Amino acid sequence: MRCFIALLLDKDANSYILDLQRELKESSADVKWVEPQNIHLTLKFLGEIPEKLAQDIKIKLEDFKEEKVIKTKIFEIGGFPSLENVRVVWVGLKDEKMIKDLFERLERKLQQLNIPKEKRDFKAHITLGRVRSKRNIDKLIRKIKKMKFKEKDASIEKLVFFQSTLTQRGPIYTPLYEISFKRI
């Protein structure tokens, strides 16, 4: 089974992200936009794992049951590897330290199950879309640079262990285990 662990934001922040995405779609760039129900912040992509390991991961995730809601801000929009050579369009989250701390604690838990540590530096971001071709990419880049972006308060409310099933219409994410963070 193909799996990943993600964080979900509050509904208001999600709506804001979808509004940004709609505005970017006006560029008519050849981008595979993330479906509204699939908006998330990936903490750890696991890839193909056996069902037994999935059960062990659920047990490790129980250690996060007492987490508190993380207050953050959506504060920028950008592209990986760079805006000029964009392959992934994303929004970034502020106050990354608390999110990064959660990521590092998760990494330590997963290493106990012999899941390798992430090689890349962690960047708290939410993917909006993946560029498929260069068609209208210049319009997309101009649109991003000209956007009147306003910071938006956001709350990270859930940690979810997802199974990802790839289909011709796009991925289908099925929650295998979910933790709602505690309100302060």
Give the phi and the psi of residue 29 in degrees, each rounded to 5.
-70, 155
Q: What DSSP character marks residue 38? A: G
40 included as an active-site residue: yes
Q: How far apart are CA 152 and CA 64, in angstroms?
A: 26
Residues with Cβ within 8 Å of 42's Cβ and at least 6 positions away in sequence, in order, are: 4, 5, 6, 127
143 included as an active-site residue: no
Q: Which of 17, 20, 24, 40 is catalytic?
A: 40
Q: Which of 44, 109, 125, 158 is catalytic?
A: 125
Which of 2, 108, 121 has its CA nearest to residue 63? 108
Neighbours of 64 (CB within 10 A): 15
Q: How far apart are CA 144 and CA 153, in angstroms?
A: 20
Residue 74 bridge partners (DSSP): 93, 152
Residues assigned a catalytic role? 40, 125
